[in-house]
Amino acid sequence: MNLALCSSSSLEPNNPFIEGSPITNRKIPTSKPFLRVGYVEKNEKVEEYCRNGRKVVVSSHLMPGHLEGAFMRKKRLEEPSRKMDFVRTLLIDNYDSYTYNIYQELSVVNGVPPVVIRNDEWTWEDVCHYLYEERAFDNIVISPGPGSPTCAEDIGICLRLLLECKGIPILGVCLGHQALGYVHGARIVHASEPVHGRLSEIEHNGSRLFDNIPSGKKSGFKVVRYHSLIIDSEALPKELVPIAWTSSSTHSFLESPNSGLTPDACENQLRSNRPFDTYSMGSYNGTAWSFSNPGRMQGKKVLMGIMHSTRPHYGLQFHPESIATCHGRQIFENFREITEDYWQRRRSRSTFINDRNVHYTACMQVSVASQLFGVPRTGAVVHKEDAQSFREASRRSQILGNADVNSVSISSVLKFPESSINVRHLKLKWRKFDKLAAQVGGARNIFYELFGACKAENTFWLDSSSIEKKRARFSFMGGKGGPLWSQMSFRLSDQSDTDFKGGGYLSIVDTQGSTRSMFLEKGFLDFLNQELLSFSYDEEDFEELPFDFYGGYIGYIGYSLKVECGMLSNSHKSRTPDACFFFADNFVVIDHLNDNVYILSLHEESTTTTPWLDDTEKKLLCLEASATRKLEEQASPTAAFSPCKGAFLGEKSREQYVKDVNKCLEYIKDGESYELCLTSQMRKTVGEIDSLGLYLVLREKNPAPYAAWLNFSNEDLCICCSSPERFLRLDRNGILEAKPIKGTIARGVTLEEDEQLKLKLQYSEKDQAENLMIVDLLRNDLGRVCEPGSVHVPHLMDVESYATVHTMVSTIRGKKRSNMSAVDCVRAAFPGGSMTGAPKLRSMELLDSLESCSRGIYSGSVGFFSYNQTFDLNIVIRTVIIHEGEASIGGGGAIVALSNPEDEYDEMLLKTRAPASAVIEFQ
């Protein structure tokens, strides 16, 4: 279904609660119905307005002056109160990709994790039940999000919360800030320019929300902004008070005096005893502030913060949760203190502060499966009859559940098909050969001699071919042969744009060649999760090994599996399987740091002999370094393998790609996305090509730390990957790590030119903005599955150099929560944010409408899932896919507000240059 964008910039309604008009006549893809603000019951009084020749309905629930219901105005007991041990927050997620950064901050500041719900997940009855009957929450935070508060489906129930919940502290961030303004009559307009991933200096008036935070130019109070729309400060309603603003100038991250520091390192720890904000009058910094003065802001300032004059409601246009915002945590701490002081002043909750029992502690997480991965967007309103089963089945487990509700694994609440592997308890045997790798010709020679026969059919090689600066250390290689070996291929059942029913078809071939097929109703990732959970093992089998793969699944997850990670549909069907994996039981590991070689064999507990170890040891010890010459002769390019010389053909012309970039810029201008990673495909017929020979040429031309060779012979599919980017890794200590790349520039011809280009990338405001947006996105994704307070960024915007390009790379890490499985972690973050943009879900919807074909394996991930739940996955870029006689290469780049369309096309070509030239030269 197509849906017009909504905004108030082209319409100035007399009543601020009328549904907004489109900014433009453009359509964006969405599977969600268009709904009015609020909802209308059968007997509810409504008013109709004519606007631009059409009727719009305004619910009386949203008319000015509508008060809280009678049950909300129950008499409060007036007993003495005390400070709270923890603060309970309801965090409303507007389908944003930064919500869980707020979640992490609030978990630390409040002493208990907030409850997160989507803006269309609860009915108004649910909200009232938890806020006023159960009194489950002390305050509310409304997240950022794509779109505009004038569009009902973008903001969901948030407008009604802001209008009717007068007696509970609320903090709105970005979209939440705009919603606070809009619901009280402010105009939402386009900013003079979109500002995404860029910093501004903030001035404030000393409001309680900014306690212990400096103000003004060169004060050190710089914040990150992600927005295209703003509240019009020239016509601010009298109910709203401006508390923060900035000039129109912006800064790149490296200009910040706190560059390289995390937000809590930026915090000013000064404390004061400033009294709580009053809501009718205020005195800030010793200066009286008139709420009725229409000319409160001087010059062309951009409004960055507001508060309501009589309610404990605040809004911030900037993002306090961003990694590059200083004093962000202090703001959340101030909001907690505002909340505590508010309830003390009202003396309203004293009787149950002492009764805040286990139901309201850290276990009060909402619905494990839906909250981690998100639920399909079914509209901003769920009618009472539709929500009945949800409320009855989940109310107690979500809010009043037992103390173990937060320790239940997502996997344990799902039903899975029977396991495809009978093995449950696995044993590992291994042998180590010190300093052997160089003696036998290195990784390339070992792979070719052990697994290169018969065109290297059914083989894998996770190849750390670039090990400079300790980027990668281990390579894993193997092939068909062991008794536990198998290959599984998965294809989604229905990828139409309008009706994705879920599930797909799995085919499994065992080591004897027998094939089994089954339909997976819940999809591939649930099946993989069940398989991994079915294994038991003895940790002493591998505790002395320095790496994290001990046997298990090696293969890829295609980009289209985004439909198992929160997306509703795919616009295009992939030509290749959507996932393919080997179960590897016999394999070789090379430690490039120490030059050691390991051989490993995984077997059932009842198996006593491992002949593969004996045979492989003999082969290794017989190898000679001179065998490299033989390898080079066999892999050298020859005219016999060049039936189809010529260039690659792009799916899109330069003209069309530039046109699509301009569409992206329009979406960004209208607030639909902060960053869109637009891609395209190049194709070339290659016929019967020596795919392994091609890969060996590619790894020489473009060595990379997360390179890979995969040959799925049954699918006539070879993957020749030279990726420099890690998607996500989980080690045996439970540490998750992502290393997104955003920002790329070509290498120079001379050393001087090369260094100049490197510095140009390092200090580029556009590239820094790209990288910062994805860093915040990955922090969010890790924050969904990591322990509160553990997500951190040890390396921010480092520049790494490769054979053909310089890239800007950041590193994000966090400690996995004990109740999260390996697949839970992948599902929370897939596809990698560096290939989607932010916010992720809305950006993928837009990209599906712009891109003319499926990305297939490109933009997905290649890597391993070990049987003990460790994993390491790359991002599939700089990769040649050979499938049924055709070579395809994907390329693209991040479109941000600062992008130049022509430059973006050139960057896309740059990223495909190395793999494309390898194919052409090899032929």
Tokens of 291: 């709420």
In this prediction, residue 347 has a pLDDT band, given cuts at 50, 70 and 90, of low
Quick one: average pLDDT of 747-760? 93
The CA distance from 842 to 827, in Å, is 17
Q: Is pLDDT above 50 for 56?
A: no
Pairing of strands 282-284, 54-59: unpaired
Task: Please list, in sequence order, all residues whose beta carbon lies within 8 angstroms of the beta carbon of residue 635, skipping any fewer than 6 positions away.
Answer: 448, 690, 692, 693, 696, 697
- Catalytic pick among 121, 153, 321, 800: 321
Pairing of strands 717-723, 706-712: antiparallel
Closest CA to 251 of 315, 324, 300: 324
- Which residues make beta-bridge pairs with 529? none
Query: On the CB side of 513, how many CA atoms lie within 13 Å of its CA?
Result: 0
Q: What does DSSP assign to residue 21?
A: B
In this prediction, residue 346 has a pLDDT band, given cuts at 50, 70 and 90, of confident
- Please give, one letter per residue, the 3-state secondary structure of 346-407: HCCCHHHHCCCCHHHCCCCCCCHHHHHHCCCCCCCCCCHHHHHHHHHHHHHHHCCCCCCHHH
The confidence score (pLDDT) of residue 158 equals: 97
Secondary element (H or E) of residue 758: helix 751-762
The percent of the chain in helix, strand and coil, each rounded to the nearest 5, is 30, 25, 40
Written as one string, the DSSP assignment of 168-234 is S-EEEETHHHHHHHHHTTPPEEEEEEEEEEEEEE-EE---GGGTT---STTSS-EEEEEEEEEE-GG
- Which residues make beta-bridge pairs with 2? 29
Q: What is the mean pLDDT of the chain?
A: 80
The confidence score (pLDDT) of residue 539 equals: 94
CB of 459 within 8 A of CB of 581? no
The CA distance from 346 to 324, in Å, is 36
Decide: residue 250, CB within 10 A, 0-12 exposed, 13-18 middle, 19+ buried: buried
Length of the chain (residues) = 923
The confidence score (pLDDT) of residue 921 equals: 87
∠381-382-385 over CA atoms, to 5°?
145
Between helix 611-622 and helix 442-451 the angle, nearest 10°, is: 130
In this prediction, residue 407 has a pLDDT band, given cuts at 50, 70 and 90, of very low
User: In 402-452, which residue ranges form alpha helices assigned H by DSSP?
Assistant: 442-451
Rounded CA Rg of the chain: 29
Q: Is pLDDT above 60 for 504?
A: yes
Quick one: average pLDDT of 733-740? 96
Quick one: average pLDDT of 126-143? 95
In this prediction, residue 556 has a pLDDT band, given cuts at 50, 70 and 90, of very high
Q: Is pLDDT above 70 for 662?
A: yes
State pLDDT tens for residues 349-395. 444 444 444 344 333 444 333 343 333 333 332 333 333 333 333 32
The CA distance from 149 to 160, in Å, is 11
In this prediction, residue 423 has a pLDDT band, given cuts at 50, 70 and 90, of low
The confidence score (pLDDT) of residue 393 equals: 34
The CA distance from 893 to 305, in Å, is 33
Map tokens 């060595």 to a residue.
Answer: 703
The confidence score (pLDDT) of residue 534 equals: 94
Quick one: average pLDDT of 293-300? 44
Q: Is pLDDT above 80 for 560?
A: yes
State pLDDT tens for residues 82-119. 578 899 999 999 999 999 999 999 999 999 999 999 99
Q: What does DSSP assign to residue 610?
A: -
Q: Which of 144-153, 212-221, 303-312, 459-468 has the lowest mean pLDDT?
A: 459-468
CB of 897 within 8 A of CB of 196? yes
Pairing of strands 139-142, 89-93: parallel
The CA distance from 498 to 521, in Å, is 19
The confidence score (pLDDT) of residue 465 equals: 76
Closest CA to 486 of 581, 583, 554: 583
User: In 251-358, which residue ranges form alpha helices assigned H by DSSP?
Assistant: 263-266, 328-346, 350-353
The confidence score (pLDDT) of residue 239 equals: 95
Tokens of 302: 């951009």
Percent of the chain exceeding pLDDT 70 equals: 74
Q: Is pLDDT above 90 for 647?
A: no
Catalytic-residue membership of 321: yes
Number of Cβ atoms within 10 Å of the Cβ of 349? 18
- Catalytic pick among 204, 227, 319, 806: 319
State pLDDT tens for residues 171-206. 999 999 999 999 999 999 999 999 999 999 999 999
Q: Is pLDDT above 90 for 599?
A: yes
Quick one: average pLDDT of 691-698? 95
The confidence score (pLDDT) of residue 254 equals: 75
Catalytic-residue membership of 319: yes
Task: Please list, in sequence order, all residues whose beta carbon lies within 8 angstroms of the beta carbon of residue 656, skipping any fewer than 6 positions away.
Answer: none
Quick one: average pLDDT of 419-436? 81
Q: Is pLDDT above 60 for 624?
A: yes
The CA distance from 846 to 832, in Å, is 16
Q: Is pLDDT above 90 for 136?
A: yes
The CA distance from 719 to 683, in Å, is 14
Tokens of 750: 């001379």
Q: Which of 49-58, 168-177, 396-405 has the highest mean pLDDT?
A: 168-177
Catalytic-residue membership of 786: no
Q: pTM value? A: 0.81
- Catalytic pick among 6, 128, 174, 853: 174
Q: Is pLDDT above 80 for 337?
A: yes
- 316 Cα distance to chain centroid: 23
Tokens of 284: 């800030």
Q: Which of 243-247, 635-639, 743-747, 841-845 has the lowest mean pLDDT?
A: 635-639
The SS3 assignment for 836 reads coil
Higher local confidence (pLDDT), 469 or 659: 659
Tokens of 685: 């017929």
Query: On the CB side of 799, how many CA atoms lie within 13 Å of its CA?
Result: 22
State pLDDT tens for residues 625-646. 555 545 555 544 443 344 456 7
Give the distance between the most distant pair of CA atoms in the chain.
Answer: 91
Q: What does DSSP assign to residue 328?
A: H
The CA distance from 155 to 137, in Å, is 20
Closest CA to 31 of 312, 394, 375: 375
Number of Cβ atoms within 10 Å of the Cβ of 294? 10
